[in-house]
């Protein structure tokens, strides 16, 4: 008995009393791994109880949603099942991390039996509209788990101590079943504790958050998203398994994103290059608005999309050659090459080349 893994057995007993299904499964997995050196047959017998079905039992089955005591408004929004109509396109590094996370969760059975946990906490950083929220939805869809999104407006309370209580209530609720919990605008609740603009309340809130992150179970995925990583408390960063930096999409990624819209490869390539600098959120909104306009006006989608793209870029002063935008808009409104050339002070062949480059005409 001197080689018997007593310490691991004690952890199994303790986690059993704690009441977390995933923590108990991990403890049993670690115990079985240690036991292999002493009694391989018994270790295998114990490992039979460690299955994905047991660890993930109850996904989609939630207790009543927690509410703010004063406003009675719900603290989280729940979506199940999560459906992302179109597979998102991410840059190489981001996609690699997301694929690794999915691979770990798809191998949960193997990991649990060895006393290991999949990635449980992810921090998404980047400017608005670069795909952080979309990535969270996509992971929830692929994992077939409910997506819980923190309702920041409701969670934040003007009453001393209430915000921390609300955050704790959200975590307690999310920990009851397997799920994906999205903490959007994470910097609002995880701000640096040396911020002079806030005294004791901020420190209490971050302490609540750190404790909740430490207790996060292995059968749920927590995703925090922020546009301002520099505002986060240093202690928060260490609580995440992966920190993922999202960047505005490159022309190649935008080209891939446009693949399901019928157009020639040359037109798509030029449109993607033209839209570089815009977020996927903006591009998605352009496509959605263009589909509706093309349907209502009984026109073709691609010219409508290009017209809307030109208007968007011109409104931001983001075109290196604004004359080209003017040429396209005049052409799409029915002006002749002669009228366009005269208006912009260019030759007919120049106008024709610009139109052909963007519209393939």
Q: What is the arithmetic mean of pLDDT over 211-215?
A: 87
Domain boundaries, the chain: 6-50, 76-245, 251-359
Q: What is the pTM of this model?
A: 0.77
DSSP reduced 3-state for 351: helix
Mean pLDDT of the chain: 83
Q: Tell me, what's the pLDDT at 246?
A: 94
The secondary structure of 55-123, three-state, reads HCCCCCCCCCCCECCCCCCECEEEECCCCCCCCCCCCHHHHHHHHHHHHHHHCHHHHHHCCCCCCCEEE
CA dist 216 and 22 (Å) reads 10
Give all strands of the β-sheet with 221-226 in edge-to-edge order.
76-79, 147-150, 180-183, 221-226, 121-125, 242-245
Residues in the chain, total: 361
Q: Tell me, what's the pLDDT at 1?
A: 46
Q: Tell me, what's the pLDDT at 204?
A: 81
For residues 50 and 140, which has the higher predicted lDDT (pLDDT)? 140
Provide the token pair at 241: 């398994």
Q: Is the dihedral of CA 156, 161, 164, 168 positive or negative?
A: negative
Provide the token pair at 153: 């407006």
Sequence-distant (6+) residues with CB within 8 A of 35 are: 4, 5, 8, 42, 43, 46
Residue 279: pLDDT band (50, 70, 90) is confident
Residue 190: pLDDT band (50, 70, 90) is confident
Residue 123, judged by CB atoms within 10 A of its CB (0-12, 13-18, 19+), counts as buried
The dotted CATH code for 76-245 is: 3.40.50.300
CA dist 46 and 12 (Å) reads 12
Q: What is the arithmetic mean of pLDDT over 270-290?
A: 91
């Amino acid at each position: 008995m001197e080689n018997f893994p007593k310490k691991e057995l004690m952890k199994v007993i303790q986690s059993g009393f704690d009441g977390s299904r995933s923590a108990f499964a991990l403890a049993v997995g670690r115990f079985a791994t240690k036991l292999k050196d002493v009694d391989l047959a018994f270790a295998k017998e114990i490992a039979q109880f460690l299955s994905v079905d047991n660890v993930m039992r109850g996904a989609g089955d939630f207790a009543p949603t927690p509410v703010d005591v004063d406003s009675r408004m719900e603290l989280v929004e729940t979506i199940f099942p999560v459906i992302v109509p179109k597979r998102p396109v991410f840059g190489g590094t981001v996609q690699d991390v997301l694929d690794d996370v999915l691979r770990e969760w798809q191998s949960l059975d193997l990991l649990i039996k060895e006393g290991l946990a999949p990635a449980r906490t992810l921090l998404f950083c980047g400017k608005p509209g670069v795909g952080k929220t979309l990535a969270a939805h996509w992971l929830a869809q692929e994992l077939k788990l409910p997506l819980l999104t923190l309702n920041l407006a409701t969670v934040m309370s003007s009453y001393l101590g209430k915000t921390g209580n609300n955050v704790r209530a959200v975590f307690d609720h999310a920990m009851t079943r397997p799920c994906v919990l999205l903490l959007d605008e994470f910097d609002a609740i995880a701000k640096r504790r040396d911020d002079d603009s806030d005294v004791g309340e901020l420190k209490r809130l971050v302490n609540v958050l750190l404790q909740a992150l430490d207790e996060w179970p292995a059968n749920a995925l927590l995703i925090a998203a922020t546009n301002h990583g520099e505002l986060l408390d240093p202690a928060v960063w260490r609580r995440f398994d992966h920190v993922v930096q999202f960047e505005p999409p490159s022309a190649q990624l935008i080209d891939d994103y446009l693949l399901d819209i019928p157009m020639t490869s040359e037109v798509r390539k030029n449109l993607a290059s033209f839209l570089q600098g815009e977020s996927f959120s903006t591009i998605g909104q352009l496509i959605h608005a263009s589909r509706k306009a093309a349907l209502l006006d009984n026109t073709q989608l691609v010219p409508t999309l290009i017209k809307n793209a030109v208007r968007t870029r011109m409104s931001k002063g983001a075109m290196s050659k604004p004359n080209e935008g003017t040429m396209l808009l005049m052409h799409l409104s029915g002006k002749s090459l002669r009228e366009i050339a005269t208006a912009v002070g260019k030759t007919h062949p120049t106008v024709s080349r610009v139109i052909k480059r963007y519209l393939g005409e």
